[in-house]
Structure 1
Amino acid sequence: MQVFVTGASGWIGSAAVDELLADGHAVTALARSDAAASALEAKGIRVQRGDLEDLPGLRRGAEAADAVLHFANNDRSTPAAPDAAERAAVQTIGEALAGSNRPFLLASGVAGLVSGRPATEDDPSPHHGPDTMRGGSENLALGFVERGVHTVSLRFSPTVHGAFDRGFISTIAAVARERGVSGYPGDGTNRWAAVHRSDAARLVARALAKAPAGARVHAVAEEGVPTREIAEALGRALDLPVASIAPDDVAGHFGWIGGFFGMDLAATSTATQRLLGWMPTGPTLVEDIDAGGLRPPPCRAAPADHPLGRSRGGRPQLNDT
């Protein structure tokens, strides 16, 4: 297939396009910068210059493709109303594919779906409309199934980890280095679902080949890793003491990431594994940290072009896309 990909130079997108190329697909990728374009072209990927604000360009890319994979919904370069911009991008892609039954795979997340239990594939997103997280893009995209689009929601764990990690865990590690202590919120029993980057990329390729229209698939290998275990592993890796951070002090200690390091973000992938025949095989999160493969960013505040910089509209996007 000829696959059009947004966010192909991102943390998950770059691994996913490698899987697509290995499967024999031809890839055209949206690229905003010269550096991204050069890196993509070096892989043998055709580059279309532009960004999510270039709606005519998105339409052209989608219309020319046999399938569309949209990973760029965490791009921090979008304007002051990025949730609305994300919604406009999804609307444009959906309109371009309407009536074609071509696949449209949208990156989303498992976080924020439910409280008090692990999220499952049966849990619908509570976000509707342009003023909600990601502009309600998952529900918008799934709505195009009724208009002849083969939409699949790719829900990623809040941490997609791997060597030279650029995601949430590297940011938490940077806080630990700055503070001189590897902290965890409260009693550290709240959990984060996790998946290795290689497993997430394989899931994307498998979903493109096998997922039915309207499916919600979960890139989850570990249902929930307690934040205390995460902090203890970071403490070992960084040779730092480990300590509980009182709930009232979490925001001040961790900064922008503290708001959801204290959340319970557990999820399952039982239905996804059964549906796609996908089985995670990569290292666990703690194994990754213990192996020394995580490289924390140089400063506590993520820069504008970092995948985990400030969220759109001030809200975290809650996955490492």
Structure 2
Amino acid sequence: MRVFVTGASGWIGSIAVDELLADGHQIVGLARSDKSAAALAAKGVEVLRGDLDDLDSIRTGAAAADAVINLANKHDFGPASNAAERAAVQTIGDELAGSNRPFLMAAGINPVPGRSSTEADLSPHHGPDTPRGGAENLALSFQDKGVHPIVARFAPTVHGAGDLGLIPMLVTRARALGFVPYVGDGANRWPAVHRSDAGKLVALGITKAPAGAILHATAEEGVPTRAIAEAIAAGLNLPATSVTPDEALTHLGWLGGFFALDLPTTSTATQTLLGWTPTGPTLLEDLETDSYYRS
């Protein structure tokens, strides 16, 4: 199968590409930089130059593919990022319409008050002015237009050596503050998944998931944020300190509001559907290594 992948050289995409190549698939990877292009070519990936804003390149890649995986994201989650994500999903969906070709897109976890989120919980975000441009619901709507959409919701921390995501942001802020903040009693939870397991899920999802499937890339249902803060504190030899929600925003900016969320999320249905069994280290095991604290 010829698979077009945006974000092919990224944190999750590079693992997914390795898994797909090992299974004998032909990969076309969207590459923004010379460095990314060289890394993909060295693996035997066909390189298509462009980025998330280059809709012509995205359309070209999708048109010549048997399946499409969209993992690229600007990761600032502001209006420009939301608009780019929605435009890319719209472009891919329009190109695949009527073909019944698989289209897997990355999405985020949505909190469900009072209980753990499951794959059956639909995203409340519709329209371009909602978080991530409402791209998840947009992608799923293409099932009615002859596309085989699959949504993969990733834990807020996809961890491992070399991580550049939310946990390293917490580490950087903690160094500047001289302590590691957590909100209230720190009982609110973040789901987590190791990078290796996330990449495997993508490769399984694009080949096995039925149309309209929602997948949860969460190996741990929820790690208490106090435990996360205390693990970082041990790694940095700093105290972990409880703060109020307002203080969290002052100390951490937008990340403070996100770190205050309770986001427990199960992946039981995903594991059963795909035969996916996470085997990577836990988040706290990774935080015991020095990979998050090298300056």
TM bucket normalised to smaller:
over 0.9
1:215-234 matches, cutoff 5 A: 215-234=213-232
> Distance in 1 between the 2:224 and 2:75 partners?
28
Structure 2 unaligned segments of length 5 or more: list them: none
> Distance in 1 between the 2:111 and 2:288 partners?
30
Match of 1:93 in 2: 92
> Distance in 2 between the 1:152 and 1:80 partners?
24
User: Is contact 1:164-1:295 (8 Å) kept?
Assistant: no
Task: Give 3-state SS (helix, strand or coil) of 2:286's partner.
Answer: helix
Task: Give 3-state SS (helix, strand or coil) of 1:81's partner.
Answer: helix
Q: Which amino acid aligns with 2:177?
A: R
Which whole-Å deviations, capped at 9, do the CAs of 1:91-116 have from their partners, x for residues lacking one?
Answer: 11011111111110000011x34222
Task: Give 3-state SS (helix, strand or coil) of 2:215's partner.
Answer: strand
1:138-149 matches, cutoff 5 A: 138-149=136-147
TM-score, normalised relative to structure 1: 0.88
* Structure 1 position 292, deviation (Å): 2.3
Which whole-Å deviations, capped at 9, do the CAs of 1:226-279 have from their partners, x for residues lacking one?
Answer: 000001111111111221122231111122311110111110001111111111
Q: Which amino acid aligns with 1:157?
A: A
Match of 1:72 in 2: 72
Match of 1:3 in 2: 3
Match of 2:17 in 1: 17
Q: Which amino acid aligns with 1:38?
A: A
Please tell me the root mean square deviation across aligned C-alpha atoms, in Å: 1.7
> Distance in 1 between the 2:74 and 2:112 partners?
21
> Distance in 1 between the 2:40 and 2:231 partners?
34
> Distance in 2 between the 1:113 and 1:245 partners?
22
Q: Which moved more, 1:117-126 or 1:14-23?
A: 14-23
> Distance in 2 between the 1:178 and 1:233 partners?
17
Q: Which amino acid aligns with 2:144?
A: E
* Structure 1 position 79, deviation (Å): 9.9
1:103 paired with 2:102, answer: yes
Match of 1:163 in 2: 161
Question: Which of 270, 276, 279 is residue 278 of structure 1 equivalent to?
Answer: 276
Task: Give 3-state SS (helix, strand or coil) of 2:216's partner.
Answer: strand
Match of 1:82 in 2: 81
- Flag the 1:246–1:82 CA change in 2: closer, same or farther, 3 A: closer
Q: Which amino acid aligns with 2:127?
A: G
Question: Which of 247, 250, 255 is residue 249 of structure 1 equivalent to?
Answer: 247
Q: Which amino acid aligns with 1:134?
A: R
Give the number of equivalent residue pairs: 295
> Distance in 1 between the 2:11 and 2:167 partners?
13
Which whole-Å deviations, capped at 9, do the CAs of 1:120-167 have from their partners, x for residues lacking one?
Answer: 000001111111111111111111111111110011001100012111
User: Is contact 2:235-2:293 (8 Å) kept?
Assistant: no
User: Is contact 1:113-1:126 (8 Å) kept?
Assistant: no
Task: Give 3-state SS (helix, strand or coil) of 2:192's partner.
Answer: strand
> Distance in 2 between the 1:263 and 1:140 partners?
25
Task: Give 3-state SS (helix, strand or coil) of 2:29's partner.
Answer: strand
Q: Percent identity?
A: 62
1:135-214 matches, cutoff 5 A: 135-214=133-212
Q: Which amino acid aligns with 2:54?
A: D
Q: Which amino acid aligns with 1:101?
A: N
Structure 1 unaligned segments of length 5 or more: list them: 299-321
* Structure 1 position 75, deviation (Å): 5.3
Match of 1:26 in 2: 26
Q: Which amino acid aligns with 2:159?
A: H
* Structure 1 position 186, deviation (Å): 1.1
User: Is contact 1:166-1:295 (8 Å) kept?
Assistant: no
Task: Give 3-state SS (helix, strand or coil) of 1:72's partner.
Answer: coil
* Structure 1 position 35, deviation (Å): 1.7
Match of 1:309 in 2: none
User: Is contact 1:193-1:222 (8 Å) kept?
Assistant: yes
> Distance in 2 between the 1:277 and 1:255 partners?
39
